[in-house]
Amino acid sequence: MHASELHRVVIVGGGAGGIELATRLGDSLGRKGRARVTLIDRSRTHLWKPLLHEFAAGSMDLDHHALDYLAQARWHHFRFQLGEMDGLDRWRKVVQVAPTFDEDGRELISRREIPYDTLVMAVGSQTNDFGTPGAREHAISLDTAAQAERFHTLLVNACIRANAQPGPLAPEQLKVAIIGAGATGVELAAELHKTTRELVAYGLDKINPEKDVQLTIVEAAPRILPAVPERVSKAAAELLRGLNVRVLTGERVTEVRRDGVTTAGGTRIPAELTVWAAGIKAPEFLKDIGGLETNRLNQLVVRQTLDTTRDPDIFAIGDCAGCPWPGRSRDVPPTAQAAHQQASHLAHVRAPAGGQTDHALALPRFRVAGIVRGVLHNRQPDGRAVRRHVLRRGPVRALHVRLALSHARLRAARLRQDAVRHAGEAHHAAHRAARQTALAAERRQALRRTVECPPDSLRVPNIMKRAMRCHDFGSGREASRSQYLEYW
Ligand SMILES: Cc1cc2nc3c(=O)[nH]c(=O)nc-3n(C[C@H](O)[C@H](O)[C@H](O)COP(=O)(O)OP(=O)(O)OC[C@H]3O[C@@H](n4cnc5c(N)ncnc54)[C@H](O)[C@@H]3O)c2cc1C
């Protein structure tokens, strides 16, 4: 079949759901030339979002976990387009992509339209501060790698400042308030407990982590991790308390200030750093995009088969999809597991040439459990993993394994990318070294000739000309032939 007649599958967003889908469809349809799979993302590299709290806390290095979309696309038979989607023309079946600029503000790629036959939206979500006064100005959210890096810098600066200051600490100093005890908040708290102690161990010894550092989690619901079964939530709360994390439940934050937060019950929590992790919403540009149905969180409303309610050729997966949860009164929760399961489901959807898309596969039941991974895994102060039996329960463990496998696949891709890059670098280094040796030999040859020639010969390089004229290598005497050679 001619390339221009191939069914065009366009996936927007290469996050937890999008990159998995692009990779799997590329391997199945792209490799066999049965469809043209294109992934669009506003970043050049993929970063697995559930790791962001670890980057923020500083326990992981961003650079070691980023996966290059271009390389992944090359290996898995899909195309990658760098750019940010900002519109959709459903009637002409094109995705509109904003121009891309480089770090200096110069345009790299101009505004363009990318045509599709099947479109999958996987643009994820962003923090929802529900318009709480002061949240936008004073709280940090963890939606992107840049935000995680910023938080980490602020945390290290706070520790350095506290360690260097001669006087006593201000009430808010070294206090961190985390708003929201969902996956992000709970895992961040556990991670920060570890990092602050590590920082002190690196020499900031004027700080007493037990006394000076205070982590507080504030949750409006009656318990932490409201989306998981109660027994898991209880186990996580127990562990957090064991880590000296203050857990406030049933408290809604009504204001964020530079030096702390206030709750509806009037509790004032001093904090030098406030992290907002209390809710999500899909990106603003999705609201009513192309006349599609969206909910109050800007999510595209989809059926259980993941196709949008008003257009069977447009699908949505992950955090940006408002998908009914079978047997529950609410939607599927915004987790990496859900994104992974939805990507797996769509990967089985065949894109027939010119025909109706077949998506009869039943959507699996969603369970949430992996989010407590961070808390339950080796988080006791003495290093032992407690309550391991919580993890051993069948469905919980199965989901852990699936999520871990999905992440491991991406990690393996990243390692492969590193290996290829290193092999490439080694090849270039060898080539450079050989070239330099050849050049050095050429120069020595040239020098032998030039030293025997008049000093102002045009063949003598400028710097040598100067050296030959002034005859001065420190001693003031005329330079010898061997000195010229050495100098060169
Ligand atoms: C700190 C933290 C910890 C978490 N821990 C867990 C956990 O332990 N377990 C769990 O199950 N879930 C966890 N989650 C939730 C999980 O990360 C998300 O549910 C999951 O990443 C959603 O996947 P997604 O594919 O929908 O979107 P994302 O992974 O967010 O990816 C969206 C992608 O779309 C791209 N994009 C966005 N807008 C555009 C646009 N306009 N044009 C082009 N590209 C665009 C982005 O660059 C990004 O690559 C955590 C989340 C956070 C923030």
Place of tokens 């799979």: 37
Q: Among 53-57, 209-213, 350-354, whose mean pLDDT is lowest?
A: 350-354
Q: Where are the beta strands (DSSP E) in 195-244?
A: 214-219
Q: Does residue 126 have its Cβ closer than 6 Å to ligand 1?
A: no
Overall average pLDDT of the 312-331 stretch: 91
Beta-carbon contacts of residue 440 (< 8 Å; ≥ 6 apart): none
Across 111-125, 320-334, 433-447, least confident range: 433-447
Does residue 463 have a pLDDT over 50? no
pLDDT at 217: 96
Q: Answer whether residue 124 shows pLDDT above 50.
A: yes
Q: What are phi and psi of 184, to 5 degrees?
A: -60, -50
Distance (Å, whole) CA 146 – CA 392: 36
In short, whether 183's Cβ falls inside 6 Å of ligand 1 is yes
Ligand 1 binding pocket includes 140 (Cβ within 6 Å): no
Q: Does domain 135-279 match CATH 3.50.50.100?
A: yes
Percent of the chain with pLDDT over 70: 74
- Residue 370: CB partners within 8 Å, gap ≥ 6? 335, 336, 337, 399, 400, 403
SS3 328: coil
- 18 CB under 6 A from ligand 1? yes
Residue type present at position 208: N
- Encode pLDDT of 231-282 as tens digits: 888 888 888 888 899 999 999 999 999 999 999 999 999 999 999 999 899 9
Q: Whose CA is nearest to atom 30 of ligand 1?
A: 124
Q: How far is the CA of 128 from the centre of ligand 1 (A)?
A: 14
What's residue 407's pLDDT?
Answer: 64
Most confident residue range from 191-200, 244-253, 324-333: 244-253
Q: Is the dihedral of CA 232, 235, 237, 243 positive or negative?
A: negative
Whether residue 42 is predicted with pLDDT greater than 60 in this model: the reply is yes
CA separation for the pair 88, 92 (Å, rounded):
9
Contact, 455 vs 467, CB < 8 A?
no
Average predicted confidence (pLDDT) for the chain:
79
Query: Two tokens at 353?
Result: 């040439």
Please state the pTM of the whole predicted model: 0.76
Residue nearest to atom 50 of ligand 1 (CA): 50
In this chain, the answer to whether the domains covering 3-125+282-361 and 135-279 adopt an identical fold is yes
Can you tell me which atom of ligand 1 is nearest the CA of 125? 30
Helices first, then strands: H and E counts in the chain: 14, 25
Residue 443 reports pLDDT greater than 80: no
Q: Is the CB of 333 under 6 A from ligand 1?
A: no
Residues 435 and 228: their CA atoms lie apart, in Å, by 61
Could you report the per-residue pLDDT of 148-176, keeping only the tens digit for each? 999 999 999 999 999 999 989 999 999 99
Query: Does any ligand 1 atom lie closer than 6 A to the CB of residue 372?
Result: no
Q: Which DSSP category does 89 fall into?
A: E
Weakest-pLDDT range from 116-120, 173-177, 398-402, 411-415: 398-402
Residue 296's pLDDT band (boundaries 50, 70, 90)?
Answer: very high
Exposure string (b/e) for 426-441, b if CB count within 10 Å is 16 or more? eeeeeeeeeeeeeeee
Over residues 315-344, the mean pLDDT reads 90
CATH superfamily of 3-125+282-361: FAD/NAD(P)-binding domain (3.50.50.60)
Is the pLDDT confidence value at 379 over 50?
A: no
pLDDT-derived band at 200, boundaries 50, 70, 90? confident
* Per-domain boundaries in the chain: 3-125+282-361, 135-279, 444-487
Q: Is the CB of 209 under 6 A from ligand 1?
A: no
The preferred substitution site among 86, 320, 335, 371 for testing ligand 1, maximizing ligand atoms within 8 Å of CB, is 335
- Over range 193-213, report the average pLDDT: 86
**What value does the mean pLDDT take over residues 183-210?**
86
So what's the pLDDT on residue 382? 38
Q: So what's the pLDDT on residue 63?
A: 75
pLDDT of residue 351: 46
Give the number of residues written for the chain: 488
- For the segment 202-213, the average pLDDT, to the nearest whole number, is 88
* Contact assessment for residue 376 and residue 323, using Cβ atoms and an 8 Å cutoff: no
CA–centroid distance, residue 124 to ligand 1 (Å)? 5
Would you say residue 208 has pLDDT above 70?
Answer: yes
Highest mean pLDDT among 88-92, 203-207, 277-281, 399-403: 88-92
For position 394, what pLDDT does the model report? 43
Instruction: Reply yes or no on whether the pLDDT at 225 is more than 80.
Output: yes
Residue keyed to tokens 């806390």 = 57
Banded model confidence at residue 353, pLDDT cuts 50, 70, 90: very low
Q: pLDDT at residue 352 above 80? A: no
How is residue 203 written in tokens? Answer: 């020499």
CA distance 50 to 335: 9
Structure confidence at residue 381 (pLDDT): 33
Mean pLDDT across 117-125: 96
Here the tokens at position 171 are 């009430």
Residue 179 has pLDDT above 90, yes or no: yes
40 CB within 6 A, ligand 1: yes
Which carries the bigger pLDDT value, residue 36 or residue 226? 36
